[in-house]
Structure 1
Amino acid sequence: MAYNVTLRQSGRQFQVEPDEPVLVAALRQGVGVPYGCKNGACGSCKGAVVSGQIEQGSHSSSALSNDEKTRGLALFCCATAQTDLVIDVREIAGVGDVQVKKLPCRVNALERRADDVTVLKLQLPANERLQYLAGQYVEFILKDGKRRSYSMASAPHEEGPIELHIRHMPGGVFTDHVFNTMKEREILRFEGPLGTFFLREDSDKPIVLLASGTGFAPIKAIAEHAFFKDIERPMTLYWGARRKKDLYMLELAERWAEDHPNFKFVPVLSEPDPSDGWTGRTGFVHRAVIEDLPDLSGHQVYACGAPVMVESAQRDFTAHHGLPADEFYADSFTSEADLVNAV
């Protein structure tokens, strides 16, 4: 028998089947709730169980701690209902309006942008167009059924191929293929769009865009979407990397700052090499935000990149610098390795 799940804030209800993750049931019925990795690694779908019983599946301890579990929090991507539930989780408008599809695509171009970063461009069939929100991602469906997630770096209004930024993870089945054997015109298959990381356009708050490494990809889509829509809210992009060469689209971000009066760009290097001749900011990228904006109470933050950066930013911004918890939006780039220490 199915169980009823009620969202505490709105009273909206949906049904979940036995052994079906609560998140899967919500998305299946067009209910917009936050999520990212869908496998217990990132913590984006965390919420409270107000009443009822769940069984919490395997997950990363960094995504949900034992202390959080004792306080009634859960990861709904890997939690199944044992009774009817009342849950408290942020609801998201607009996501349910976007159709999720499984589509074939053809590799249109492979452009090496850094030693370990390739820009992959995908051509859809002539009769298909992917509608999505800037910041969302797709999942490649591999031959063995496994999936790999990558954010779309091209804005939704753009005609032509869909752009992804792929970082090489040595030993990774998919990225080894991208960097070593993938050829133009190869056929791939993906599902998308997915995720709840996108610009909230109903706000007038200044925007902080925070990226590390290839976390720049969805941030690029969000920025270019904002420019296209003539959104005039102040935007500041903080992009962190180890060395200058890792800022693989540095000139593009600098051009945005020149062309758009409401946009500022702050690159930050954690380990600049003397050969970089770097005279800009150094250290942890989220600390640069704090140095410039010690009071974040009136801002929105969109953060994407390495889990340690996203987690540190969320903790420090909300606990010590006034950012409302519901104004921190994140897409943490988790991998299979992030589930090694699952609990």
Structure 2
Amino acid sequence: MTFQVTVQPSGHQFSCEADETILSAAIRAGVGLPYGCKNGACGSCKGKVVSGSVQHKAHQQRALPPEEEAAGYSLFCCATASTDLVIEAREVAGSSDYPIKKMPSRVTTLEKVAPDVMVLTLQLPASERLRYRAGQYIEFLLRDGKRRSYSMASAPEDGGPVTLHIRHLPGGLFTDQVFTTMKERDILRFEGPLGTFFLRDDSDKPVVLLASGTGFAPLKAIVEHMISEKSTRPITLYWGGRRPHDLYMDGLCRQWAADLPQFSYVPVISNALPEDQWQGRSGFVHQAVMADLPDLSQHQVYACGAPVMVDSAKRDFVAQCGLPDEEFYADAFTTEADLAK
């Protein structure tokens, strides 16, 4: 059975099969609904069902609390239509400009940059170029049908190999392979580009980039994209880790700060040990932003990393610093362990 979905306020319409999610149908139709994880964990795709009814597959309650679901809100990445629908969602301009493709790639380098972080470089076929927006991600297609998502850490203007920053999760189906058996010249298949987390180029507002751990990867791509575009927008990068080695490209960030007059860098460590001899900022990284920028009303924020950091930042920036809700853009990194919870 096929249902018709109408999006307000744009008026865009698309068809949705009974066995596919509303988000999948929208992507297939080229309608730019916002999304991130596609598995009911991050909440990026949340919108309101104005009329009609949906059924939700498994999802995390923090992404859609029961009271919000009762009020008519839905996670479109895990909702299927039971009737024709009218939904309310803020569409993302430009999110469907580049085709989503399945492509082979060859591993060219594996560089361990921290005890638990590997930089993986992929060479794409000479006959194909992956067109994407800085901040988007790809999904590796594993042999058992499972998928694993990683943001691209290289700017699209590079036009060469794609780099990814992969954190080792012991017992992880894919990351164990990356850190143990994967070798140069291995072939990996992926699908992309995916996601609506990317720089909005139609604004001149100062940019706050907020990262925890490997959430730095898509923000690195955004900075390099802005450098390539010769953007003069002020950029402040706050990068948080538990210990100094978690900021595995600290030297690169300090070089940006030295070379770019519009760029500032604030590293923040939450659990330094005495042997680290850490002399910089300490505590939660989003609280460092609030201490430095108590008024965010004229800023855009791009946050990427652990869900608890992203959730805390959005709540506090909007409630306490005056950040407009629509100027907070996020990509919460969710793992299989997060989903299992």
The 5 Å alignment of 1:209-228 reads 209-228=209-228
Alignment of 1:245-324 (within 5 A): 245-324=245-324
Does structure 1 residue 104 correspond to structure 2 residue 104? Answer: yes
Tell me what 1:83 maps to. 83
The alpha carbon displacement at 1:9 in A equals 1.1
For 1:1-343, list aligned pairs within 5 A.
1-341=1-341
1:124-178 Cα distance to aligned partner (Å, 9 max, x none):
1111110000000000000101000000000001132100000000000100000
**Alpha carbon RMSD of aligned pairs, Å?**
0.8
For the residue of structure 2 that corresponds to 1:173, the secondary structure is: coil
Question: Residue 308 of structure 1 aligns to a residue in which SS?
Answer: helix
How far the C-alpha of 1:311 sits from its partner, in A, is 0.7
Q: Aligned partners of 1:61, 1:105: CA distance in 2, in Å? A: 36
1:264 Cα deviation after fit: 0.4
| Residues in 1 aligned to 2:157 and 2:324: alpha-carbon distance in whole angstroms | 31
Deviation beyond 4 Å, 4+ runs, structure 1: none
Q: Deviations over 1:212-241 (max 9, x none)?
A: 000000000001000110111111000000
Mapped partners of 1:263, 1:26: distance in 2: 37
Report the CA distance between 1:73 and its aligned residue. 0.8
Q: Distance in 2 between matches of 1:153 and 1:172?
A: 21
In the alignment, residue 236 of structure 2 is paired with which amino acid? T
- Which whole-Å CA distance do the structure 2 matches of 1:69 and 1:291 have between them? 34
Structure-1 separation of matches of 2:33 and 2:319 = 23
Distance 1:10 1:178 in 2: 43
How far, CA to CA, are the matches of 1:159 and 1:93 in structure 2? 23
**Paired residue type of 2:11:** G
Distance 1:254 1:17 in 2: 50
Q: Given residue 322 of structure 1, which amino acid in structure 2 is its aligned partner?
A: G
CA distance in 1, matches of 2:143, 2:251: 37
- In 2, Cα distance between equivalents of 1:167 and 1:106: 20
- State the secondary structure of the residue aligned to 2:286: helix
Other structure's SS at 2:158 match:
coil
Measure, in 2, the Cα distance between the counterparts of 1:125 and 1:339: 33
Amino acid at match of 2:145: G
**Counterparts of 1:290 and 1:119 in 2: how far apart (Å)?**
31
Could you tell me which runs of 5 or more consecutive residues in structure 1 were left unpaired when the two chains were aligned. Answer: none
Deviation by residue 1:258-281 (Cα, 9 ceiling, x = unmatched): 111011000000011222221111
- The aligned amino acid for 2:106 is R
Quote the sequence identity (%).
Answer: 66
- CA shift, 1:184, in A, is 0.3
SS at match of 2:166: strand
Structure 2 counterpart of 1:340, which letter?
Answer: A
Give the distance between the partners of 1:213 and 1:288, measured in 2 at CA: 16
Corresponding letter in the other structure for 2:217: A
TM-score by length of 1: 0.98
TM-score for the superposition, normalised by structure 2 = 0.99
Q: Aligned pair count?
A: 341
Partners of 2:133 and 2:198 within 8 A in 1: yes
Partner deviation per Cα, 1:89-142 (whole Å, 9 max, x = no partner): 110111111011100100000000000000000001111110000000000000
Q: Distance in 1 between matches of 2:324 and 2:50?
A: 22
Q: Distance in 1 between matches of 2:7 and 2:68?
A: 20
CA offsets, 1:40-78, max 9 Å, x none? 111110111111111111101111111111111110001
Partners of 2:288 and 2:35 lie apart in 1 by 27
